[in-house]
């Protein structure tokens, strides 16, 4: 039993027997951002019960909201995992911390940012965890790389990723070699 006692008859949401396809958005704008994202992909691939299926190209883009900070490098990874949504988020937060992520203030520059954007066809609404990611539909730096690797993926209640990406202004994105 964990530190927090579960209600009688409830089941922990820590894992699944079958693999679930999930998509993780990765970003960095401190240090060597491309290297940070590459290292995070390696760490993601090494998570227990998880397999890295594919990754998008890397994209350079300006910080959201015209903030005065370095440009970001972003990508999206497709994984198959036995981790439940909350467990997966907890693992991503551990990876961020291991890469020196500090959460000084909202939209602060960061060594690494990892977000669960899709988790199978699940819709999750919990404190500190919302899937699909609540701002992904407004972010070309998420939808464009996601459409590159999974154009037919569906955002529950919204539509096909390729169609959603086509509606965004992606003029600020630069695909890196």
pLDDT one-digit tens code per residue, 118-166: 999 999 999 889 999 999 999 999 999 999 999 999 999 999 999 999 9
- Mark whether 6 is an active-site residue: no
Token pair recorded at residue 60: 């350079």
Q: Quick one: which of 143, 146, 133 has its CA closest to 167?
A: 143
Q: Which of 82, 91, 110, 139 is catalytic?
A: 110
Q: Which of 6, 54, 68, 113 is catalytic?
A: 113
The proportion of the chain whose per-residue pLDDT surpasses 70, expressed as a percent, equals 85
Q: Which of 82, 91, 101, 139 is catalytic?
A: 101
pLDDT at 57 over 80: yes
- Mark whether 169 is an active-site residue: no
- Mark whether 101 is an active-site residue: yes
- Mark whether 104 is an active-site residue: no
pLDDT confidence band for 68 (50 / 70 / 90): confident
pTM of the model: 0.88
Q: Which of 115, 152, 163, 169 is catalytic?
A: 115
Q: 45 Cβ partners below 8 Å, 6+ apart?
A: 51, 52
């Amino acid at each position: 039993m964990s530190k927090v006692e579960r209600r009688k008859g409830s089941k922990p949401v820590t894992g699944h027997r079958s693999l679930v396809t999930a998509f993780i958005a990765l970003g960095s704008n401190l240090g060597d951002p491309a290297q940070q994202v590459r290292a995070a992909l390696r760490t993601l691939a090494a998570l227990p019960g998880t397999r890295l299926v594919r990754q998008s190209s890397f994209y350079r883009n300006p910080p959201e909201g015209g903030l005065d900070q370095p440009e970001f490098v972003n990508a999206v990874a497709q994984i198959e995992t036995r981790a439940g949504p909350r467990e997966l988020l907890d693992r991503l937060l551990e990876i961020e911390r291991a890469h020196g992520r500090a959460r000084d203030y909202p939209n602060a520059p960061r060594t690494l940012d990892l977000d669960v954007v899709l988790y199978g066809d699940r819709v999750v609404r919990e404190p500190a965890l919302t899937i699909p990611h609540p701002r992904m539909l407004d972010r070309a730096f998420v939808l464009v790389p996601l459409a590159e690797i999974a154009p037919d993926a569906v955002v529950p209640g919204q539509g096909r990723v390729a169609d959603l990406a086509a509606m965004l202004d992606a003029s600020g994105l630069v695909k890196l070699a």
